[in-house]
């Protein structure tokens, strides 16, 4: 099963997905580079620059990581023409009431004139305490900034949800960005099928992309089929699973014998095998870039055979596990009206 040459969005544009050089499988190859948190500025800068130097052309920037300035610095220092990059940004949950302001701040922080894609990070709004989070010139962030990103009441562990804001209203604000030509496409993330159906019934613009947790233990087959029917491209976060450092996971993908055996056969890491599987499934995996060494793991992936692909898919018939639990706002995965 060969890697797809490209993934076309319903806007007519394509997410870069084809091999551009003989040596590297670039992020013109269906891989999204998720940049690490600004809690470690040098690593963020090094990882992003290493990716761009190595061939990465798809950068996924998340406001909640508070590292957009560092990403912008890496892009500038790479001297890669803007037209050769595919850059997406994300609207955080505390910014739903003023999407245009949040969007323009992201553009400014990244130092670019436009985004290829702007994504609503979650279909839920958090209360905003009214203070703008500032990142210093040294790109370091005070812990209080993270408290502002995840606002909690003084006597509760639950996050403060802004129940007056409906994601349909947020989406209308995102639609309003399109005429400015400052963003080429808009998308959503972490939607369930019922929420996505509600959005499509009440919107003018169909999302170009849906980013969800999907991997062999979280196939999301029904949602994937719905997206295919409506020409919504799927991007996969947590596509290679998570480590079990805290001992809370029931199963760890990279430790599965099937994955290990295929990895050994191809002389690849389990991480690479899972990334290849995600691409061949037709999704764009958003992979973590913790440091420069981790970035190298997105290169030189090897194609899986049809039989190997199916072996991995069958893992989902035996076990289902959501790795990202959305602590404090897990109700986002519920669909009660």
Residue positions annotated with a catalytic role: 63
Residue ranges at the known binding site for substrate: 121
CB atoms within 10 A of CB 89: 27
Residue ranges at the known binding site: 121
Cα distance between residue 226 and residue 158, in whole Å: 32
DSSP state of 25: -
Cα distance between residue 186 and residue 205, in whole Å: 9
CB atoms within 10 A of CB 73: 20
Measured in whole angstroms, the distance separating CA 93 from the mean position of its chain's CA atoms is: 15
The helix-helix angle for 68-78 and 41-54 (nearest 10°) equals: 40
Cα distance between residue 198 and residue 261, in whole Å: 42
DSSP state of 164: T
- Bridge partners of residue 236, in order along the sequence: 212, 285
Among residues 189, 237, 242, 244, the alpha carbon closest in space to that of 214 is found at 237
């Amino acid at each position: 099963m060969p890697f797809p040459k490209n993934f076309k969005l319903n806007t007519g544009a394509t997410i870069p997905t084809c091999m551009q050089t003989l040596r590297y499988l670039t992020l013109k190859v269906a891989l999204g580079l998720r940049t690490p948190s600004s809690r470690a500025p040098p690593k963020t800068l090094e990882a992003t620059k290493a990716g761009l130097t190595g061939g990465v052309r798809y950068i996924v920037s998340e406001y909640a990581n508070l590292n957009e300035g560092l990403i912008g610095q890496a892009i500038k220092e790479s001297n890669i023409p803007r037209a050769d990059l595919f850059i997406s940004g994300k609207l955080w949950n505390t910014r739903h009431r003023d999407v245009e302001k949040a969007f323009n701040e992201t553009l400014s922080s990244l130092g670019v004139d436009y985004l290829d894609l702007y994504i609503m990070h979650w279909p839920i709004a958090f209360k905003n305490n009214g203070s703008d989070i500032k990142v210093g010139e040294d790109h370091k962030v005070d812990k209080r900034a993270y408290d502002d990103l995840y606002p909690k009441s003084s006597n509760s562990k639950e996050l403060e949800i802004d129940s007056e804001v409906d994601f349909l209203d947020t989406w209308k604000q995102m639609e309003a960005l399109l005429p400015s030509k400052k963003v080429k496409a808009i998308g959503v993330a972490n939607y369930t099928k019922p929420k996505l159906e509600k959005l499509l019934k009440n919107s003018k613009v169909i999302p170009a992309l849906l980013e969800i947790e999907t991997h062999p233990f979280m196939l999301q087959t029904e949602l994937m089929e719905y997206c295919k029917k409506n020409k919504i491209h799927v991007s996969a976060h947590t596509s290679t699973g998570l480590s079990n450092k805290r001992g809370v996971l029931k199963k760890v993908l990279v430790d599965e014998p099937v994955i290990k055996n295929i990895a050994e056969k191809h002389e690849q890491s389990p991480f690479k095998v899972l990334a290849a599987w995600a691409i061949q499934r037709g999704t764009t995996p958003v992979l973590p870039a913790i440091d420069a060494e981790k970035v190298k793991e997105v290169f030189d992936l090897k194609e899986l055979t049809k039989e190997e692909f199916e072996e991995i898919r069958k893992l989902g018939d035996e076990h289902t596990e959501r790795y990202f639990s959305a602590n404090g706002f897990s109700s986002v995965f519920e669909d009660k009206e």
